[in-house]
Chain A
Amino acid sequence: MNWRSVRAVFGHEMARFFRTVWQSLASPVLSTVLYFVVFGAAIGGRIQAVEGVAYGAFIVPGLMMLTVLQQSVANASFGIYFPKFSGTIYEILVAPTGWVEVMLGYVGAAAAKAIMIALVILATSFWFTGIHIAHPFWMLAFLLLTALAFSLLGFIIGLWAKNFEQLQIVPMMVITPLVFLGGAFYSASMLPPFWEAVAKLNPVLYLISGFRWSFFGFADVPVGLSLAAVGLMILVCLAVIRWIFLTGWRLRE
């Protein structure tokens, strides 16, 4: 294991983030503020409390998850796609650096950026609503695992993409709908039984549910199942990334 190369890639990616730190932070924070204003203040005042939690507070975990998922995928996919686009990927491929080191550097940086933004959003939410975090350790654990899982997915998208259109299409057409339909703004128990069953086919629901449990102590699905879902996703993504690097698919063609 070449830890110096992990640090080099991680530092390189974080430097890119800090070069445009205000731009990186301002956009997601502004979006979240708008969600709070629209869903929390304007509409939330007309919606009754969910499981005893005010609607404004109820949507905080969902908003954080929405940001973590979008940012993890966007950061990781762009992080590895840009060297492919600019041609600098050659130095990653000729260096004495294995797929594990490359992946840890890019995915670690993408997850770190997503978590930082999520924590800024959490801090912002205190301005709008009162929140008590029931299980802070599990909140951080879910945040970390989810950021890792979706950064791994983003890394795969970046390796797969051949152009900027492909880079955008999966986050836009798959991930955003799954997050909105995964209970970011509602509990699955609020749905009619048929749609509740359909919603439970959405893997993102398990992540949001587990994360919400860490805040409020109640969940749509058992917490163990949420952990298993995120763990399974991490394992599947790792297997795919390993296969891509060992075969050289879309990298050494």
Chain B
Amino acid sequence: MRPIIEIEHLSKRYGSGTPALNDVSLSIDEGEILALLGPNGAGKTTLISIVCGLVVPSGGTVRVGGHDIRKDWRAARKLIGLVPQEVALEPFEPVIDCVRFTRGLYGEPPDDAYIEQLLRSLALWDKRDAKTRELSGGMKRRVLIAKALSHRPKVLFLDEPTAGVDVTLRREMWQVVRELRAQGVTIILTTHYLEEAEDMADRIGVINRGEILLVKPKDELMGEFGKKHLTISLHQPLAALPPELAGRGLVLSPDGRELGYDYDSRAERTGIAHLLAEMAGLGLSVRDVSTKQSSLEEIFISLVEEETA
């Protein structure tokens, strides 16, 4: 895959002198979904705003589809669609006019067949003549997506697209994103819902205090940073942990029926085989064994806390 966005040594300082971005370099491949995670004020929105042309960078370069966003800004911006964090729509304008307006703004000729297809795919066709103020919050978000896609961009930025959206609608939005990805649209997503990133992203970037801490394929990240938790269910409850098993980091559940054990999935020796053999030697009968991978949320928190420390 060739990169569609190339960011090199990007920095941004606001008037107060506070660095919002510090020497950020990042390459995003065509057709991938990149989730950008970070706490509030980490620099996610600043990064997106610079690439889209909303904020002027203090230094560094950004190319979109090979076009420099400052020297060749018209060609670069034509490739980009943006769904902003805040729902911002003209309240008295009908939905279809809103979408047509954005398409015209991008210099595209009218194409009512495409607009119809777009609105149908976002379940907005029945609401095409409704004024945007009459729509529910979820529908308004979908109108924003329709506007961002009205000129058929190759890159779509979704800045916290499901913030404040209920669970059902969030899942609908994820479906929309998956369909876009299937059409070859590159998607850059910022989110606070780590479940969202875990579910959809190909790669995950973590940003904090204006610096990219890491960018890795999601599976690699989960494997590299992911700890696993082993739960051993026992046939007979234990009153206390046998002294022979002490010092292994085992935790006995209050009812004495389960033993918990954290281990590093990357380690050559996890100690599980030795543990099970030792338990068998002690006459402890095992009823069931299950493992659980750390969630992205836990990985994210540990990364940010490590960097902050």
Interface residues of chain A, those whose CB is within 8 Å of chain B, are: 2, 4-5, 7-9, 11-12, 15-16, 19, 82-83, 86-88, 90-98, 248, 252-253
A96 touches B78 (CB 8 A): yes
A88 touches B107 (CB 8 A): no
Stretch of B86-94, B120-128, B169-177 on the interface side? B86-94
A94 touches B107 (CB 8 A): no
Within 8 A of A (CB), among B25-60: 52-56
Contacts of B90 in A (CB 8 A): 82-83, 86, 88
Give min CB distance, A179 to chain B, whole Å: 30
Contacts of A86 in B (CB 8 A): 88-91
B214 on the interface (CB 8 Å rule)? no
A90 touches B54 (CB 8 A): yes
| Contact residue among B86, B105, B107, B108 (Cβ-Cβ distance under 8 Å from A91) | B105
Complex Cα distance A7/B100, Å? 12
Stretch of B69-77, B246-254, B282-290 on the interface side? B69-77
Total A-B Cβ pairs within 8 A: 75
Interface residues on B, range: 20 to 34
Complex Cα distance A92/B53, Å? 10
Complex Cα distance A93/B84, Å? 12
B86 touches A96 (CB 8 A): no
A87 touches B82 (CB 8 A): no
In this complex, what residue of B is CB-closest to A90? B84
B88 touches A90 (CB 8 A): yes
| Contact residue among B82, B88, B103 (Cβ-Cβ distance under 8 Å from A88) | B88
In this complex, what residue of B is CB-closest to A10? B104
| Contact residue among B82, B84, B104 (Cβ-Cβ distance under 8 Å from A7) | B104
| Contact residue among B55, B77, B92 (Cβ-Cβ distance under 8 Å from A95) | B77
Given A86-B89, A87-B84, A87-B86, answer yes or no on A92-B54 (Cβ-Cβ < 8 Å).
no
A91 touches B147 (CB 8 A): yes
Give min CB distance, B309 to chain A, whole Å: 34
6 additional A-B residue pairs with CB within 8 Å, beyond A87-B86, A252-B54:
A7-B104, A11-B104, A87-B88, A96-B74, A96-B75, A96-B76
Contacts of A97 in B (CB 8 A): 105-107
- Give 8 pairs: A residue, B residue, CB < 8 Å, sorted on A: A5-B105, A19-B92, A82-B90, A88-B88, A90-B88, A93-B53, A94-B53, A97-B105
| Contact residue among A2, A15, A83, A253 (Cβ-Cβ distance under 8 Å from B107) | A2
B92 touches A5 (CB 8 A): no
In this complex, what residue of B is CB-closest to A86? B88
B102 on the interface (CB 8 Å rule)? yes
| Contact residue among A5, A19, A94, A98 (Cβ-Cβ distance under 8 Å from B54) | A94
A93 touches B105 (CB 8 A): no
Contacts of A92 in B (CB 8 A): 105
| In the A-B complex, the 3 residue pairs with the closest CB atoms | A8-B104, A87-B88, A96-B74
Interface residues of chain B, those whose CB is within 8 Å of chain A, are: 15, 52-56, 73-78, 80, 82, 84, 86, 88-93, 97, 100-109, 147
Contacts of B82 in A (CB 8 A): 90-91, 94
Dominant secondary structure at the A interface: helix
Give min CB distance, A125 to chain B, whole Å: 32
Give min CB distance, B98 to chain A, whole Å: 9
A15 touches B52 (CB 8 A): no
In this complex, what residue of A is CB-closest to B147? A91
Complex Cα distance A244/B93, Å? 28
Complex Cα distance A11/B77, Å? 22
| Contact residue among B15, B80, B97, B109 (Cβ-Cβ distance under 8 Å from A94) | B80
Contacts of B56 in A (CB 8 A): 248, 252
Complex Cα distance A27/B56, Å? 42
Complex Cα distance A92/B147, Å? 12
Complex Cα distance A253/B46, Å? 11
Contacts of B52 in A (CB 8 A): 94
A5 touches B104 (CB 8 A): yes
Contacts of B76 in A (CB 8 A): 96
B105 touches A95 (CB 8 A): yes
Complex Cα distance A15/B78, Å? 25
Given A15-B97, A93-B54, A94-B52, answer yes or no on A5-B88 (Cβ-Cβ < 8 Å).
no
Contacts of A252 in B (CB 8 A): 54-56
Given A90-B54, A94-B80, A96-B78, answer yes or no on A5-B102 (Cβ-Cβ < 8 Å).
no
Contacts of A16 in B (CB 8 A): 92
Given A4-B109, A88-B88, answer yes or no on A94-B77 (Cβ-Cβ < 8 Å).
yes
| Contact residue among A4, A12, A83, A96 (Cβ-Cβ distance under 8 Å from B73) | A96
Complex Cα distance A98/B106, Å? 11
| Contact residue among A12, A87, A90, A96 (Cβ-Cβ distance under 8 Å from B77) | A96
Q: Which of B93, B102, B104 has the most CB of A within 10 A?
A: B104
Contacts of A98 in B (CB 8 A): 74
Give min CB distance, B137 to chain A, whole Å: 15
Given A96-B73, A96-B78, answer yes or no on A88-B92 (Cβ-Cβ < 8 Å).
no
Complex Cα distance A95/B207, Å? 27
Complex Cα distance A3/B75, Å? 16
Given A88-B88, A91-B147, A95-B77, answer yes or no on A4-B101 (Cβ-Cβ < 8 Å).
no
